[in-house]
Chain A
C-alpha cells in the first residue's frame, strides 16, 4: 500500500482579510516553500486595505477590540503544534500566545493610564485621551519569527491602529500561518496586512507612503537602511519607532512605549457655567 501523498500549503500574502499572491507573480524559496515575493504595488495595496479598515477598527469599542485580541490568543493556542512543526520552539509559541492575552487586556485600560482630567487654572472641563494614529507600517524582527512578530503587531492594533507588516524574510512561514490565525479570530479584514519578501523592496515604499501615519523600524538591522527609511518617513512626519537593539529580550515585559508611540493625545476643553 502506498503512503498517502501530503497536501502542501501555498504560502501567500495577507491583504484586506484575503490571501492573494503577489500581484507581481513572483515567489522566493525559503524554509522549503515557495513564498510570495511582495512588490511595491502589493505594499500600496496593503496600505489601501489598512486605511479602509481604520474607521471600523478605531471606532470599535475597547471591549470589543480586547475580546478580539483575546480570541487571537485562543486560536493561536489551538494551533500550537502547527507552529512547532514550522520550527518555532514550543515555549516561544506559548510566550506569543501569552503576549496576545497581555495586550488584549490593555485595550480598555491604556486610555485610563495614559489619559485623564487635567486640573487647569480656570473654569474649564479639560480631558486628555489617547487615540490611534491610523495606519502603521511595521518591519517585524527577523527573529524570533513568531514572538517578535506578535510583539510588534499587538501593541499597534490593540489601540485601534491598523498595520501593514513586512514579515521576517528568512522565516516567513510563521507570519503566514499567524495570518491564518488572525483570519479566524473575528479580526476585521485589513486591520493586519502581512507582506512576505524583501525588506529592501517593501519597507521603502511603506516609509515613503503619504497615507501611512507611523513606521515601526524594529526589525531593521542595517543602520544605513534604518536611517534612509526614517528620512523617507519625515516627508509626512510619520511617528517613528527606531530599530530594536540586537540583544533585545523579547521575553521581557514590553512596557507601554510601543503602544504610546503609535497614539495621539487629544485634549478637549469646555467651559463650566450655568
Chain B
C-alpha cells in the first residue's frame, strides 16, 4: 500500500462561535428555557460549540414567525421574486462552499473529499434547481393554480446535514411555504451557518427558522397544531411515530426512512467495476446512508472471485482524519451510533456469519469502525434484516435471477437497489421487479436535484427531488 503524506484541509476557513442561539424570525435568539447541548467533532471528541436547545415555547415562537412570514411576505410574494432569493442562496452556498464543507466534515466526521465533492455541489444544485420552479408551478403538472400549504415542519438527520436541509428547504420555499427546520442534535452547525446565509441573502425574516435540539424538540415541532406540513428524514421507527402523531390532522406528511438495499452482482458483471460499486455502495459516508447497498447479493458462480477482489480493494481504503484529503472513510458520527454498529456486528458473529475486516489502524480518540464484511449470511440474520447504518456489508449469494429478486425484495424496506450486469435486458427485467424507489444499474449512490428520491413500503412515502418533490409542498 502506498504511503501518503498527510494532506489536511485547513480549518482556518471556518469561524466557529463558542455558542449558538436559535434562528427565529431572522435573528439568533436565546432559547426561552435556556437549555443547551454541545456539538462535538466525532473524529476527536473535541467540543465544537454550545448549541441552544429549543423547547415548546421556542417551537411556538418559531411557528408563529413562520406563519406571519407566510401570511404577510412569502405567501403574497410573486414566484419570480421567491425564485431570486433561492438563486441568491444557491450562489452564496457556492461562494462559501469550502467553509461549509470543512464545517460539515468537522461536525459530522465525513471525509472532506465527500463533503467537498458530493454534499456541497449537490446542496447548491438543489437550491438552484428549485429556484427555477418558484415561478413555474402552474406548469408542474399539478393543475393550473397549485397553492402552497403554509408552514412546513421539517426534521432532518445527521448523515448529510446540509444536503438534507437543502432537500427540505429548497422545494418548500419554491412552492411558497415557510419553514421551521430542526437539524439533528449531533450535526447542527451547517444549518446554523445556513441561517447566516439566509441573513446574507436578505431573505425576509421568518421564512426560514432553525430550531436546534433533540427528539423532544422535534416532537414538539411536528405535533404543533400550527403546522400544515411535516417532512421527516430519519429512522423508520421515528417515522412511524410521526405518522401516528399527524393522524387525524390536516397535516400533509412525507417520510424518507430507512433502507436495507440489495446490491445484486450477476455473473457477467465486470468485476472491477462491480467492486468499486460495492465499495461505494456501503462505505460511502461510513455507511451512514439510508440507501446504502448494505446487502450484497452475488451470483454463486462468481462469489469467490468478487469477494477476493473486494477484500483486496477494502485493504486499500484509508480510514482516519476526515479533514485529510486522502481519507476514504471518516469517523462514525456519534458514540451512540458506534454502539449500535458494534451491537449489530456482534449479533452477526453470534448468529454464525463470518466477519472480516482488513488490517486497519484506527485513531485513539473519536468514534471509529473498520470497514467490515460478513459472509455466510442468511436472510434470517439480524445483519440481513436490520439497518446497521455503518460500514458493514452483509454478503448473500443466489443462483438464478428470480432468486436474486426474491431475496432483494425480502425486506420491509424499499428505498434503493443496485444491479450489476453487462446485459441490458436483464437490467430492465430486474429493475421492473425490484420493489425500491431508486434503482442504480452499473452505478450506485448517485444523486441529482432533478431525480426523484424516496422509498416503497416501510422506507416511507413521497419523493424528494425533481418535479415530484414539489408535490409534498403543494395542496394537490
Contact = CB atoms under 8 A, between A and B. Distances in A.
B446 A269 contact: yes
Given A118-B448, A267-B452, A237 B438 contact: no
Interface stretch (B152-160, B330-338, B358-366, B459-467): B459-467
Main secondary structure of the interface of A (DSSP, over half): mixed
Interface size class of A (residues with CB under 8 A): 35 or more
Interface stretch (A69-77, A85-93, A179-187, A228-236): A228-236
Contacts of A223: 248
B469 to A, nearest CB: 10
Interface in B125-171: 125, 141, 143
Interface size class of B (residues with CB under 8 A): 35 or more
A231 B456 CA distance: 19
Given A227-B247, A236-B412, A265 B446 contact: no
Contacts of A63: none
Nearest to A224: B248
B448 A235 contact: no
Interface-central residue, A128, A227, A234, A269, by most chain B CB under 10 Å: A269
Interface string A144-160: 00000000000000000
Interface in A93-117: 113-114
B461 A267 contact: no
B426 interface: no
Interface in B409-464: 412, 414, 427, 431, 434-443, 446, 448, 450-454, 456-461, 463
Contacts of A231: 244, 247-248
A83 B65 CA distance: 55
Contacts of A124: 443, 446
B452 A128 contact: yes
A260 B471 CA distance: 10
A122 interface: yes
Contacts of A264: 414, 435, 437, 456
B257 interface: yes
A201 B414 CA distance: 31
B450 A118 contact: yes
A16 B267 CA distance: 40
B236 interface: yes
A133 B412 CA distance: 13
B69 to A, nearest CB: 27
A124 B451 CA distance: 11
B21 interface: no
Contact of A265 (B247, B448, B452): B452
Contacts of B188: none
A218 interface: no
B141 A213 contact: no
Q: 9 nearest interchain CB pairs?
A: A227-B248, A230-B247, A234-B243, A120-B448, A118-B450, A118-B451, A270-B441, A231-B247, A234-B244
Contact of A120 (B143, B451, B457): B451
